[in-house]
Structure 1
C-alpha cells in the first residue's frame, strides 16, 4: 500500500468514527476496544478471538442490562489480522453476538495499521499508573486477581475480572473447522464488517 492510500484511509476512518459517535441514537452504542500492553504480572498473553469475546462478554452484558433499548453496537478496533480480522472472530461475532446478547445489528470498524489509538489506551495507561503508584507505596500486586481487586477499590474505572477459564469456555464453542466466508477479504479492504439479524 502506498503512503497516499495509507493517509487517505486514516483520514477516512477517523471521519467515519467521528460521524458514528456524533450520530449515535438512543438504540446504539459505540465500543472502542483494544488490548493494552500486559502489566508485568499478567500470565495470560492470549489476545486471540476467544480472549476478545471473553473480555467482551461482561461489557456487552452490562450494556444490555443497563440499556435494554440498545439494539446496535458499533465496534472500533485496530486491524490486527491475528486478533480482529480473523475468521474465528468473524464466526464468533456472527454467532455469539446475536445468540447471547439479543442485539440486532453490529458493525466492526478497523483503524489503519498503527492508528487505532484512543480512549482504550488511555484507560489502560491510567490503570497501570494507579497500580505502579500503589506498588511504589509498598503494596504487592502479585497476580491479575490482586491487580483487579486492588484497583477496583481505588479506581473510578469499572473493572471486570476475566479468567483463563472464561477464555477457555469461549474457545470450547468454536468448531474445529471454520470455512472462511467468501468475500470477507474485500470487506477488510474497506475496513469494516456489517451484519444485521
Structure 2
C-alpha cells in the first residue's frame, strides 16, 4: 500500500487529491526503492534528533542575559453563542479571532529557569510575515519588561514557509534592533517539518477550552471583546495581549517588495543575526556552541548580506548578471558617425554624415524585474540609468 497524488475531476475543474493505492512489485524493485528513500529519511531523522536535543540543552544552559521564546499560531477560534438560529451556521456570519501563543523561558534571580505563558489575540486573521512581526514585537517587549539584562533572544518555531520560514522573516530579523537597541544577538530556530508540536499548543487548547466552558454556562462568546474578557477573567497565569489590525498593516508597509530569496530555504533550521556582523548566517541544523563564529560542526550553509533599511534592501537586490553568465541583448539601434577612411562605411555620398542601422551588443547592466512595482526612489534610479544609456548611445553628444 502506498500513498500517491492523483487528480479528481469536479464539474469542469481538476483538483489534486491524496489516496492510498495497492501496488505489486518484485522484491528487487522494492529493495531499490527503499535504498533510494533511506538518505532522505535518515536526514529527516537526524534533523528531528538534533533540534530536540539542542533546544533542550539551550533551556538548561540559559544565562541571565538570554531568553528563549517558543511560539506558534493556534487554530483560529470561531465566535459562538449559547443559543443560535439555524442561519448562523451558514455564510460568513461566524467571525474568528487569531491566536498567537508563546512560552517564554528566562532565568530568575535564583538562577532557575522560569517559564511564562503569553497569548496575543487579533481580529485580523492573517498569519503571514507582517502578522508574525506584529505579534513578535509584543513578545519581545514582554521579555524586556520581565528582565532588563536581556540582550540575546532565541526564537523557536515550527517551519511552515507561509508563516515563519521565508525571506521576509529573514529580513525582519535584521530590523528588530531598530526598535530594541539592547539586542545584540537573535537566533531563529526551526523544528523539523511534521514535528513542531510543543508547549504553545497547550496554551491554545486551554484558552479555547475555557471559552467553550463559559459557553456551556450560557455566556455568549460572540465578539472579540467578549472573548478577551472571558480569557482574562478566568485564566490568570496567561498574559493576554491584543494586536490591532492597523499594527499588522503598518508592518506590511515596512516590508520591501522585492527581497532576494535565499536558495536552500527549505533546508534551513537556524538563522543567526548578530549586531557586529554585516551578514546573516544560515545553518542546516541548530548549534549554540558556535554562535560567534561559523559553525565548526558541519552545520553551516552560507552567509547572506544584511541591508539596514527597506530602501537599501530593495535597491541592493537589483538583479545583476554575473560576469561568468554574460548575456547579449541584440536590438536595432541608430547611431551617427562622421566621415571615415574605412571603405566599408562609405555610401553614395561619402562627404556628408549619414545614419546607419547596426546591431549593437550591450554589456552587463543592472535591471529591476518589475518597473511598475518600483518605489519613487527606484524609479529615480532607473530614470538615471536610462539617461546614462541614452547618452552612451550617442557618441557625438559631447
Q: Normalising by the residue count of structure 2, what TM-score does the alignment of the two structures yield? A: 0.47
Match of 1:193 in 2: 271
User: Which residue does the alignment assign to 2:177?
Assistant: 98
User: Within the alignment, does 1:18 sit opposite 2:56 as a pair?
Assistant: yes
Cα offset, 1:92, TM superposition: 1.2
Of 156, 162, 175, which residue of structure 1 is paired with 2:256?
175
Q: Alpha-carbon deviation of 1:187?
A: 6.6
Structure 2 spans left out of the alignment, 5+ residues: 1-38, 80-95, 98-123, 276-398
Cα distance in 2, alignment partners of residues 151 and 190 from structure 1 = 36
Aligned residues: 193
- 8 Å contact kept, 2:72–2:201: yes
- Taking the aligned partners of 1:143 and 1:11, their CA distance within structure 2 comes to 42
- Cα distance in 2 between the residues matched to 1:190 and 1:82: 15
3-state SS of 1:55 partner:
helix
Which structure has more relative contact order (CA 8 Å, sep 6+)? It is 1
CA distance in structure 1 between the partners assigned to 2:68 and 2:266 by the alignment: 19
Residue in structure 1 matched with residue 203 of structure 2 by the alignment: 123
Q: CA deviation at 1:29?
A: 0.3
- My pick for the range that moved more, 35-44 or 5-14, is 35-44
Q: Which has the larger radius of gyration?
A: 2
CA contact (8 A) 2:166 2:265 kept: no
Tell whether 2:42 aligns with 1:4: yes
Find runs of 4+ consecutive structure 1 residues off by over 4 angstroms.
Answer: none
Matches within 5 A, 1:9-48: 9-41=47-79, 42=96, 44-48=124-128
Q: Secondary structure at the match of 2:77?
A: coil
1:144 deviation in Å?
2.7
Secondary structure, aligned partner of 1:13: helix
For residues 106 and 5 of structure 1, what CA distance do their matches in structure 2 show? 26
Query: In 1, distance between residues paired with 2:156 and 2:177?
Result: 18
**Gaps in structure 1 of 5+ consecutive residues:** none
Change (3 A) 1:188 1:21: farther
Return the structure number with greater strand share.
Answer: 2
Would you say the 8 A contact 2:133–2:172 is kept in 1? yes
Go from structure 1 to structure 2 and tell me whether the alpha carbon gap of 1:27 and 1:78 turns closer, same or farther (over 3 Å shift): same
Distance 1:45 1:190 in 2: 27
Deviations 1:108-139 (A, max 9, x none): 00001111111110111110111110111111
Map 1:30-179 → 2, pairs under 5 A:
30-41=68-79, 42=96, 44-95=124-175, 97-102=176-181, 103-155=183-235, 156-179=237-260
